[in-house]
Amino acid sequence: MSFFISDAMAQGAPAGQGDPFMSFLPLIILFVIFYFLLIRPQQKKAKEHKLMVEALSKGDEIVTQGGILGKVTDVTDNYLTCEIANNVEVKVQSHAVATVLPKGTIKNL
């Protein structure tokens, strides 16, 4: 019956397993790519936003993340008060400020 079924021949053990560092190299390269394309720019953007929020002062014109334009009338630790129309003021969390506009922008709109 051996002519219908070929005999299994044992292969010898591979010569070497290779360098373990080389097996982790693609993973390391992938992490480096993610760091430079995703993590680092996000950290830089968060740092710039934190500096912008800390530099807010009375009289600055801002846009909130909700799209409300206003002029800062009072600044506290976590909140700021901004005037969005004549005699209409709202309190906004300071980290909700998206951008600081140049002076006089609201009057031109």
pLDDT of 4 > 80? The answer is no
Q: How confident is the model over 1-17, as a mean pLDDT?
A: 60
Distance from C-alpha of 93 to C-alpha of 8, rounded to nearest angstrom: 74
Single-letter residue type at 6 = S
- CATH code at position 104: 2.30.30
Q: pLDDT-derived band of residue 5, with 50, 70 and 90 as boundaries?
A: low
Range of the domain at 30: 21-55
Q: What is the pLDDT of residues 69-99, one digit of tens each?
A: 999 999 998 999 999 999 999 999 999 999 9
Domains in the chain: how many in total?
2
Among the listed ranges 7-11, 42-46, 60-64, which one has the minimum average pLDDT value? 7-11
Asked if residue 69 and residue 48 are part of one domain, the reply reads no
Q: CA torsion angle for 61, 56, 68, 84 (degrees, to 10)?
A: -60
Q: Which residues pair with 93 in a beta bridge?
A: 79
Average per-residue pLDDT for the chain: 88
